Structures are given as structure tokens and as C-alpha cells.
Chains A and B, each alone.
Chain A
Amino acid sequence: MDVILFLIFAVIAVVCGINVVVQSHPISSAISLVGVMGSLAVLYLLLGAEFLAAAQVIVYAGAVMVLFIFVIMLLNAGGEIRHGRSIMAQVLGIPLLFAFLGLMAFFVQRLFPSTALVHFGAFQHGGAQDVGRALFTRFLLPFEVISVLILIAILGAVVLARKELE
């Protein structure tokens, strides 16, 4: 059951990821990205990270992607015009990408023997209680610092996007 669920959602994630790269219209890419994020949320659940699966759906698939689609529609972005593609990039880039992935897969297989298996439910400490306890005790300082970062980001976004006063 674990293997079937993993394979289904891994295939969805990879297909949607390829779709993000090859689609020419930004809206199609954005919808595919939602598919990647949704299937990654299921994989987080399989790994026992319940809180982060919920956060992934709410923050990424909800808030961030709505922001993206909002900007795409606001700017009325059309499909992209392709011109002046370098031949070097196509001849060298795609084989190099596959070589990199093959090498990566080889090393990961060597580092992690096939006896290390993921079973659903084997790791029970990914719920809101355990994550919250870690956040508010051991990681309290980073948590407070990142709240300041969010504040700065909001101010920066408002300053950048406002209309200039006459």
C-alpha cells in the first residue's frame, strides 16, 4: 500500500513538474505547480509530517499560488515568445541533466541501503503538538527572528508595489 501510494503521487509530482517547465503559458505552469504541491503534501503525510502536510496545502497551494495567479491575471501575461534558443543548451543541457540525475541516484543508493524503509505510521512525532513544542522551546529564537523577517517582507512588498504620490 505504501509503495502504491508513493508511486502514484511521485508520478503525479514529476509529471506536473515537467509540465511547469514545458508549458508556454504561465497560468498552465501555475496550475501544474499546484499539482506538484498537493502531491508533495500527500508524501509528507506518508513520511509522518502531519502538521507540515497541512501547512503545505494552506500556505503553498493556498496562499502563495493564489498570489501567483493573482499577479498573472493582473499583468495579463500571455504565452512566451521563443526566439534565439542556443543550440549548445539543447545539445549539451539535456544529456548533462540526465547524467547529473543518474550520478545522484547512484550515490543516494550507495549511501542509503535498501534496508532503510519508510513505513506509514512508524514516525509519530510530526503532529502539531510535537512541532509546536520544538518551535516554542528549542527553536524559540529562530521563530521570533523569522517573525521579524515576515514583517520586513510585508513592509517591503507594500513599499515596492504602492503607487507613487505626486
Chain B
Amino acid sequence: MPGVPISWYLILSAVLFALGVSGFLLRRNIITVFMSIELMLNAVNLAFITFSYQFKQVDGQIFSFFVMVVAAAEAAVGLAIILTVFKNRRTLNIDDVSTLKN
């Protein structure tokens, strides 16, 4: 029974990470930018679990578990910040939130 090469999983992880980076850089909606960050975190999780399989150790999965917890905490705090920004500025476009630039 043929299996899947390890490198395919890692390349899939790289593709998803690159998509997350391009979404982070190209999009102007603050919520979509945030979703791109989640996409990048997921891609990294896939790489960790692939290495956990490669080395036949559970450590990579534990690390991936911690990344998941941090992502959940980040989502809660980040969405609260988005709510506050929207309450103060009435906009979700990140080009309009540029007080620090000047």
C-alpha cells in the first residue's frame, strides 16, 4: 500500500502559510486580516503534527495543542479590540486606522 510522502504535507503547510501571508498583506478589512492570521497558525500546526509523525513522538502534537490555545486566546482579545475600534471609529478598514502613522 503506497503512502503519502512526508514532503507533500510540508509543502501543503507552506502553501497554506503563503496564502495566509498574502491575505494578511493584501486585504483591507480588519476581520479578514485576522482570519488570515488564523490560517497561518493552522498551517504551522500542520507542520508540527507532520514532524510529530516523522519523529514518532507526541511532543509536536503537544506544541500544536499550545498553539491552538494561544490562537483561541488571541481570537478573543483581538475580536474585543476590533469591537472597540469599531465603536470609536465606525470603520473596519485598516487604512482608516492610522493614528500612529502621523
Residues of A within 8 A of B (CB): 1-3, 6, 10, 13-14, 17-18, 20-21, 26, 29-30, 33, 36-37, 40, 43-44, 46-49, 51-52, 55-56, 59-60, 63-64, 67-68, 71-72, 74-75, 77, 80-82, 89, 93, 97, 100-101, 104-105, 108-109, 111-112, 114, 116-119, 122-123, 125-126, 130-131, 134-135, 139, 142, 146, 149-150, 152-154, 156-158, 160-161
Q: Are B32 and A80 in contact (CB under 8 A)?
A: yes
Main secondary structure of the interface of B (DSSP, over half): helix
Interface footprint category on B: 35 or more
Residues of B within 8 A of A (CB): 1-12, 14-16, 18-20, 22-23, 25-29, 31-32, 34-36, 38-39, 42, 45-46, 49-50, 52-54, 56-59, 61-62, 64-66, 68-77, 79-84, 86, 92-93
Main secondary structure of the interface of A (DSSP, over half): helix
Cβ–Cβ < 8 Å partners of A77 in chain B: 29, 31, 92
A64 to B2, CA, bound (A): 36
Distance between A34 CB and nearest chain B CB, rounded to angstroms: 10
A1 to B3, CA, bound (A): 8
User: Can you identify 25 A-B contacts, CB atoms within 8 angstroms?
Assistant: A2-B2, A20-B32, A26-B32, A29-B32, A29-B35, A40-B42, A49-B49, A49-B61, A52-B61, A60-B38, A60-B71, A67-B79, A68-B31, A68-B75, A71-B82, A71-B83, A80-B27, A105-B14, A108-B7, A118-B3, A118-B4, A118-B9, A153-B76, A157-B77, A160-B84
